[in-house]
């Protein structure tokens, strides 16, 4: 499985502890040569940072994204079948990040992130030998991640 993605951000943090931001994200994923997923779209968010002296911070981050997703599934069971799915995916992301400054510009961080994504009802475009084959996709995806590391 492969995954590549990127995002562009713009924001405002003129308040003491609160920041507002928005941007655009895109990504591609693949499972072998058979399943390809592309998604892109805007997101908005807000973050609150609490400072513990000059060496440590705790940041709460909440964002919402609305993505256009395209899923292609090819060659099911060795045939020329092909499924194309175009749908909208929306969801929220909540994260908590603790950063502790170390020496020489290095920082230690721990981040916990929860994402809750849902796929809108989507019809499937089908190309293949069987006439009348159709399906509808509706679903959700819940992900959580714990990241620990050192930044420079």
pLDDT tens digit sequence for 73-131: 886 666 667 778 888 888 999 999 999 998 878 999 999 999 888 887 776 776 666 66
Cβ–Cβ < 8 Å for 40, 25 = yes
What does the domain layout of the chain look like in residue ranges?
A: 2-151
Tens-place pLDDT, residues 27-47: 898 887 788 889 899 999 999
Indicate the pLDDT class of residue 14, thresholds 50, 70 and 90: confident
CATH class label, 2-151? mainly beta
DSSP 83-135: EEEEEEEEEEEEEEEEEEE-STT-EEEEEEEEEEEEEEEEEEEEESS-TT---
Q: Which tokens belong to 151? A: 């930044």
List the structure tokens of 10: 């713009």
Selection from 88, 38, 91, 86 nearest residue 67 by Cα: 88
Confidence tier at 15 by pLDDT (50, 70, 90): confident
Which of residues 52 and 71 earns the better pLDDT score? 52
């Amino acid at each position: 499985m492969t995954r590549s993605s990127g995002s562009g951000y713009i924001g405002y943090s003129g308040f003491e502890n609160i920041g507002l931001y928005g941007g655009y994200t895109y990504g591609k994923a693949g499972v072998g040569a058979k399943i390809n997923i592309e998604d892109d779209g805007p997101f908005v968010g807000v973050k609150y940072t609490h400072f513990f002296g000059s060496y440590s911070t705790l940041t709460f981050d909440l964002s919402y994204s609305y993505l256009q997703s395209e899923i292609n599934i090819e060659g099911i069971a060795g045939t020329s079948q092909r499924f194309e799915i175009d749908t909208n995916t929306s969801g929220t992301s909540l994260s908590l990040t603790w950063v502790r400054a170390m020496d020489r510009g290095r920082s230690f961080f721990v981040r916990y992130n929860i994402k809750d994504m849902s796929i809108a009802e989507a019809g499937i475009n089908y190309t293949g030998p069987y006439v009348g084959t159709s399906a509808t996709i509706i679903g959700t995806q819940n992900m959580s991640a714990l990241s620990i590391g050192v930044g420079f």
